[in-house]
Amino acid sequence: MMSNLLDNRYRVTSVLGSGGFGETYLAEDTKMPSNRRCVIKQLKPVADNPQMYELLQQRFHREAAVLETLGEENRYIPKLYANFAENGLFYLVQEWIDGLTLTETIERGGKWAEDAVRQLMISILQTLIYVHDRGIIHRDIKPDNIILRSGEPVLIDFGAVKETLNVSTIRSSTQQAHSIVIGTPGFMASEQAAGRPFFASDLYSLALTAIFALTGKYPQELGTDPQTGEVLWQSHVVNISTALKSIFTKVLQFDPRDRYSSAREMLEALQQSQIRQNAPKQVPISPAMSNMQTVAVTPRGYTPPFTPQQSISAQPPDHSVYVYQSQQNPQKKILGQIVATVIVGGAIGAAIALGVVISQNGGIVALWNKFSPFNRPVAKVPFYFLADSAYKDKESAGFRVEKLKSLGYKDAGMFWIPDYPNLGNNQFQQVYTSQFKDLDSCIVKLQEHLKYIDDAYCAYASLDAKASSQRFTGSDLPPSSSPSPSPTATPTKSPTATPSPTRPSPEQAVRDYYNLINDRQFQNAWRNLTPKFQRDRAGGYKSFTDWWGTVSQVSVNGVRIVESKENSAIIDMDITYQKGKAIFPETLRMSLVWDESSKQWQINETQRQ
């Protein structure tokens, strides 16, 4: 164990792993107040002279910048905190993902059922869509590189930086180059083992990872057909649907040209097979994946930081209510899917062949948004709805709608929030589970859905900007199972209203505080801080308002009680800040104290986790 600080900052506490490319450590950041835990990857560059080393260092920093972008914009990829070189070695400092790997989960809890494996694949495919659209191949998808954080899969250990450290990748064509292979034997497709990975190589590895979750067996235990080179998985996977078997059969073809052309195509096949297979009822989910369906809580989940600024159509976008028509004419539906697949897949292939970096501000994303079957406009009408999630783009919202349909919410849909001015002007696609004629009916369903989405709520969407949204949240429900309150009662508590004689919970106090921030009521929010915390903030109220003025939206995605006493509490929160077009997730630990004079909880201290 090294005793000195790395980069004069990071204290190594344990070794997590070791391999041919270097070592991985668990460390503490001594320059953060919380001594934040992080993962440090020590990478050994393969260079045989100083000039090559300098060039490798430049490439290393460039590829690290790519990892930084991926981690900042997607919560299912670890954040990159820093990168540096020291004593001839390169280092990446990344976010510590608290959870068990898929390997550890299966070893401890046993094999998963098909429903849980489907949810795992759907979530990973959504992350791969995000990664592949940026021209990046992961190259090492396997159970050890999927960590389940609160049930949600985080994809770790991208192989791109490792390849940049190999001098053979930057030699001139006249020099002898010895190949370097990134990946894990067994989970690698044949073309990847030969040093020529494709996007379809990641899909191949994902399928073998899913089979591991179903069977507990590694690819080496399955066997290989000596004639075709294909994995002999069929006899090991029993009691799964014919549809899932067909998907595995296609994605595990030896020739990558015979597999799905993209993660989108595989995801669509998986979702469509699930719709055909499942009856309209709640699908039971394995306990290990109980949180998998909560991948998006406003605006949590795969939320690209930019909405495409242009369309391939000259006409302005139609922001009517968008509902995925799963019962549309089969021939038209299939034709639409073929067109979308050919155009999107062909464009991706052409971009790769030409060495083009696929932009997120148009290009392939714009093509997908144009031809996606999620974009089916229907008439705008006032209605009550049960809110589930919200997203910056229609594609991700459509994926969530499809997931809700597969879970039995056959009336799930989405709409663009500004189309209903009484709800505000947040630039999000609102996903809902169903529509209702009255608030009482929605509240009945709200009590059920809160088990899966703790931020779910009922509201009224109206074309009249002056109409009340009648927002009704879980905190408005009675503590017992008594009948739901009448909608004639005030359904929501105004943050500025006189405090109720009943003391609110610390969790609700925090949500109310951020509601004040979102409503730009900075003075009232400032009063929710203790005098100590106000003094601790350099610049006082002015800096408080200046900083929050740069945040267009803050969302509380989860609240967990750490300690609760009569007049104090400590909670952990998952928060998402939106600044302009960028979205930044963060976990905070917050201490609160009860102020008897104002009859409210006040924030006394916060720390980043």
Phi, psi (deg, nearest 5) at residue 434: -170, 170
What's the rounded Cα separation, in Å, for the pair 6 and 28? 10
Please count the residues of the chain.
609
pLDDT over 70, % of the chain = 70
DSSP string, 477-495: S-SSSPPPPPTTS--S--T
Residue 459, pLDDT score:
92
Please tell me which residue, 127 or 407, carries the higher pLDDT value.
127
Residue 548, pLDDT score:
86
Q: Which of 18, 69, 68, 67 is nearest to 44 (CA)?
A: 18
Residue 152, pLDDT score:
87
Q: How confident is the model at residue 182 (pLDDT cuts 50, 70, 90)?
A: low
> Which of 29, 115, 140, 393 is the catalytic position?
140
Residue 389, pLDDT score:
81
Residue 85, pLDDT score:
86
Q: How confident is the model at residue 89 (pLDDT cuts 50, 70, 90)?
A: confident
Question: Once rounded to an integer, what is the mean pLDDT over residues 552-572?
Answer: 85
Please tell me which residue, 6 or 480, carries the higher pLDDT value.
6
All structural domains of the chain: 10-95 (3.30.200.20), 99-171+180-291 (1.10.510.10), 296-328+373-492 (no CATH), 506-608 (3.10.450.100)
Which of the 8 DSSP states describes residue 220?
G
Residue 196, pLDDT score:
85
Highest mean pLDDT among 22-36, 161-175, 501-515: 22-36
Please tell me which residue, 198 or 289, carries the higher pLDDT value.
198
Q: How confident is the model at residue 299 (pLDDT cuts 50, 70, 90)?
A: very low
Residue 404, pLDDT score:
81
Question: Once rounded to an integer, what is the mean pLDDT over residues 276-287?
Answer: 48
pLDDT of residue 347 exceeding 70, the answer is: no
Please tell me which residue, 176 or 450, carries the higher pLDDT value.
450
What's the rounded Cα separation, in Å, for the pair 608 and 195? 41
- Give the tokens for residue 379: 């008439």
Question: Once rounded to an integer, what is the mean pLDDT over residues 225-229?
Answer: 83
Asked whether the beta carbons of 256 and 200 are under 8 A apart, the reply is: yes
- Give the tokens for residue 24: 């991985």
Asked whether the beta carbons of 111 and 120 are under 8 A apart, the reply is: no
Residue 576, pLDDT score:
80
- Give the tokens for residue 504: 């609110």
DSSP string, 284-314: P--GGGTTGGGS-STT-SS--S---S--SSS
How far, CA to CA in Å, does 356 sit from each of 134, 207, 347, 407?
10, 28, 10, 38
Please tell me which residue, 527 or 358, carries the higher pLDDT value.
527
Q: What is the pLDDT of residues 96-154, one digit of tens each?
A: 998 999 999 999 999 999 999 999 999 999 999 988 888 888 888 999 999 998 888 99
pTM of the model: 0.48
Of the listed ranges 138-152, 323-337, 521-535, 559-573, the least confidently predicted one is 323-337
Residue 609, pLDDT score:
62
Q: How confident is the model at residue 71 (pLDDT cuts 50, 70, 90)?
A: confident
Question: Once rounded to an integer, what is the mean pLDDT over residues 477-481?
Answer: 63
Tell me whether residue 140 is one of the annotated catalytic residues. Answer: yes
pLDDT of residue 484 exceeding 50, the answer is: no
pLDDT over 90, % of the chain = 27
pLDDT of residue 217 exceeding 50, the answer is: yes
Q: At what angle do helices 50-73 and 114-132 cross, to 10 degrees?
A: 120
Q: How confident is the model at residue 204 (pLDDT cuts 50, 70, 90)?
A: very high
Question: Once rounded to an integer, what is the mean pLDDT over residues 520-546?
Answer: 81
Question: Once rounded to an integer, what is the mean pLDDT over residues 230-255?
Answer: 92
pLDDT of residue 418 exceeding 70, the answer is: yes
Phi, psi (deg, nearest 5) at residue 473: -110, 175
- Give the tokens for residue 608: 């980043």
Of the listed ranges 281-285, 443-447, 476-480, the least confidently predicted one is 281-285
Mean pLDDT of the chain: 74
pLDDT of residue 367 exceeding 70, the answer is: no
Please tell me which residue, 129 or 350, carries the higher pLDDT value.
129
Q: Distance of alpha carbon 377 from its chain centroid, rounded?
A: 26
Residue 577, pLDDT score:
79
pLDDT of residue 170 exceeding 70, the answer is: no
Instruction: Write down the residue that tokens 């509240």 correspond to.
Output: 443
Q: Distance of alpha carbon 194 from its chain centroid, rounded?
A: 32
Q: Which of 80, 97, 126 is nearest to 300 (CA)?
A: 126
Q: How many CB atoms lie within 10 A of CB 45?
A: 21
Residue 49, pLDDT score:
64
Q: How confident is the model at residue 47 (pLDDT cuts 50, 70, 90)?
A: low
What's the rounded Cα separation, in Å, for the pair 409 and 151? 21
What's the rounded Cα separation, in Å, for the pair 285 and 146? 19
Q: Which of 400, 466, 462, 460 is nearest to 433 (CA)?
A: 400
**Residues comprising the binding site for ATP?**
41
How far, CA to CA in Å, does 104 sit from each of 75, 111, 183, 187, 514?
21, 11, 20, 17, 37
pLDDT of residue 588 exceeding 90, the answer is: no
What's the rounded Cα separation, in Å, for the pair 206 and 290? 20
Of the listed ranges 231-240, 315-324, 509-518, the least confidently predicted one is 315-324
- Give the tokens for residue 316: 């302005």
Please tell me which residue, 271 or 59, carries the higher pLDDT value.
271
Residue 313, pLDDT score:
28
pLDDT of residue 564 exceeding 60, the answer is: yes
pLDDT of residue 304 exceeding 50, the answer is: no
pLDDT of residue 478 exceeding 50, the answer is: yes
Residue 479, pLDDT score:
66
Rg (CA), the chain: 25
Residue 101, pLDDT score:
93
